[in-house]
Structure 1
Amino acid sequence: MTNLIKDIEQVLVIGATGKTGSRVCKRLSKLLSPEKVKPASLHSDICFDWQNSDTWHTALNGVSHVYLTYFPDLALPIATEHIRAFCKLALQQEVQHVTLLSGRGEPAAQECEDILIHSGLNWTVVRASWFSQNFSDGLFKSFIESGQIRLPVNQVKEPFVDIDDIAEVVVQSMVDIKHRNTLYEVTGPELLTFADIASQFTKVLGKPVYFQSITPDEFESGMSAAHVPKEVTDLLLFLFTEVLDGRNEYITDGIEQALGRKAKSFSAFIESNRACF
């Protein structure tokens, strides 16, 4: 193992207020120092806007490493153009390493991975399954509070992954050379349907949580009533109806490859996040 902490000048964390970015910032600040972590997002002191490339230049100033997340999702058609331009700029500004958060089963996301891999930059790709924390500090939290998960899916299975595992992989990719130029496909340790998810919440929390399969139209109406922006609803419908079609119904050992331990289970996630529910 070769430790690279001494080579880190400053780490730019794009999406620092997001689910993974906030956790990466916290871990890096503790491991390095707060001064070596540069949080950037639409809502940070350092603004980073994917729709305004002028903000990219400011964010990259003095940076040696980057944690790259794309909002709202790499599945968007414009993402490839943005990732290509960002990688070119990062190379010009002599960034040493970029770790990209990607998604499983999304052709556009895999195209973005290829752009980074062939950019001339040192890289790590973390290709993740659906986040367990979508149920604790994401859009699905209200489902658990109401006791009913209502989504346009049937019996498809997904190996939900704990974001804390993802954040740990990202941090290690910055400080250990063995993770350079490596793709980790990370999942949880078990395949679960959304009905299984409801059952696990019922068991661990001791309160009934049910799953109901609904139509895309019913889902869209519910999101509209909850004042969820249409572009977010459209993206979710794409993920539910196309990506969650069974193509990702397998488990990987990416967490174990990167960290030398097993991935956290969904029931362990619920237990450790009881206060959220």
Structure 2
Amino acid sequence: MVTCPSCGHENAEGSKFCEKCGAALQGQSIQSTQNTAAASADNAKANEYLEATKQVSLSFFHYFSDVIKHPFSSGKRYGASNLTNSIITMVLFAVFLGLTVYFGIKNLIKELGTLSYIGEIIRSEEMNIQVSFVEFGIKPFLFFAIFVFIIAALVFAASKLSKMDADFKSILVRYGSYLVPFLGLVAIGFLLSLLNIDIFTWFSAIGFIGTFFIVPVLVLVSLYRENKNGLDIAYSSLFVVVCTMIVLYIAQRMYIAGLVEKLEEIMGQGLFF
């Protein structure tokens, strides 16, 4: 339909003059055609993105289902074509841990509300404790995401010390694959934190320890071939573990301590103001 610019009457597509007032519709028809073409292009692009997202999601579902059954053997046979799935696994791990921190802190404040003296203060109208999603949700997510890739880089460095034939991409693929079972534990921990079930910390802690101390060793073992010229795998594994502990210590001084201070600040404002 072509709208008349003079009277607003809707005319049939392709009309040169308005059926009601006789005004020329030539320019309006061209504009209408252009708008229709632009809308069609936008719809096609949106459908393309939707289809691509659907394919990636389906691919990751099959990947996750396969790896969760046989993590070690599946991780060894996957190649560079599964890099996207491995990165998605790492990102989801960081997302779940970040959200677990956020909801865990909210649950902690609720638990404090059950204590007699503190509970009266927390429930009082004068107090309004707000847990920042940026500070306790997004920033922990970024921290865990960066930390995962740092550990993957350490594994790559260790593989070079042992003269293993592996590039950084293959390290990421295997790291992401062996991470899948621990992603499952972290996801369970997240769901339990939503339900305010205390044991969520156990699942999250095991997932965290496994990801940063067990998975790197599994990656090195899966790549290891006896090579007298390279560093023995026992020492390359020890190298990764020691470096991981050093990075954790630095992170604790730079970020985790600041996170605890933020929590203390929130509680202090609630208790004294």
TM-score with structure 2 length normalisation? 0.25
- Larger C-alpha radius of gyration, 1 or 2? 2
Greater fraction helix:
2
More strand by share: 1
Q: TM-score, length-normalised on structure 1?
A: 0.25
